[in-house]
Amino acid sequence: MRFSEGSVLLPMNRSNRITITALITAVLLGMSFSGYSLAKTKFNDPKKVLKEEFWGKLFANGGTTFFCKKTFKKKSVLITESHIYSPSWVRDHLDCGTIRSCQRKNESYRQIMSDLHNIVPATASFELNRRAAKFEELDDSVDRDDCQLRRVFSVIEPPDEIKGDIARIIFYMHHTYDLPIYGDLNQMIRWHRIDPPSKQELERNEEIKALQGNENFLVTNPQKIDEII
């Protein structure tokens, strides 16, 4: 028995069977990871998505900021967007350089930054102070501010009622784009379990699904956390 690969004929001995199996496996894995790294979303223009989809549709009539629960009627200099999975973490992982360089040259970066599941409204003052801080727990020696946040240098502890939301977004970004998890894994799992999806989170998930074509599966099926960790 002989195996034809284009114009090359290989004798089907045990060694070649192993080699061929390895090649097929590598090809299938490559196909899997290339599909795994991109979400099932039609968006890949971050600026356009923010203007037309995020502010133009999701928050066209105002809303409430994610971290501080401040109501607003529209976007202004005091209200901005915030990415739960920090853009700087994405750039570090993709190693694509500056914001401008990543925007121009990296398709994966543009799609990741266009994912509405990762974007929330925030006060401009919070976003300015957050930068690339990780979400972790701090002890009681650190006082909470007016937004019920604890903050020390590059670490922020959010209010209890949004800890699960944050964990589910970070796990979603990890699973959808094969991004590393920033922060303590066991802590994120605990946040996910002790703060289950609220009605508001479920509604937002459905609104985003209608706009970009995919959901955060951990919001609708929290038990699936066991399948990705």
- Parse the chain into domains and list their residue ranges: 1-36, 38-228
User: Are 84 and 112 spatial neighbours (Cβ–Cβ below 8 Å)?
Assistant: no
pLDDT one-digit tens code per residue, 172-223: 999 999 999 998 999 999 999 999 999 999 999 999 999 999 999 999 999 9
- Please report, rounded to a whole number, the percentage of residues in the chain having pLDDT higher than 90: 75
Cα–Cα distance, 7 to 5 (Å, whole number): 6
Place of tokens 């699904």: 209
Q: Lowest-pLDDT range, 8-12, 73-77, 151-155, 174-178?
A: 8-12
- Is the predicted pLDDT of residue 62 greater than 70, yes or no? yes
- Summary mean pLDDT of the chain: 85
User: Are 118 and 140 spatial neighbours (Cβ–Cβ below 8 Å)?
Assistant: no
Cα–Cα distance, 45 to 43 (Å, whole number): 6
The identity of residue 170, as a single letter, is I
What global pTM score does this model have? 0.82
Residue 8 confidence (pLDDT): 37
Place of tokens 């951990």: 218
Task: Dig out the tokens for 25 from the structure.
Answer: 């496996």
- Is the predicted pLDDT of residue 66 greater than 80, yes or no? yes
pLDDT one-digit tens code per residue, 10-44: 344 544 443 444 433 333 333 333 333 445 567 99
First to last CA, the chain: 43
Task: Dig out the tokens for 9 from the structure.
Answer: 């004929």
Element (H, E) at 72: strand 71-72
Cα–Cα distance, 120 to 65 (Å, whole number): 7
Residue 132 confidence (pLDDT): 83
Half-sphere exposure of 202 (CA within 13 A, CB side): 7
- Is the predicted pLDDT of residue 82 greater than 90, yes or no? yes
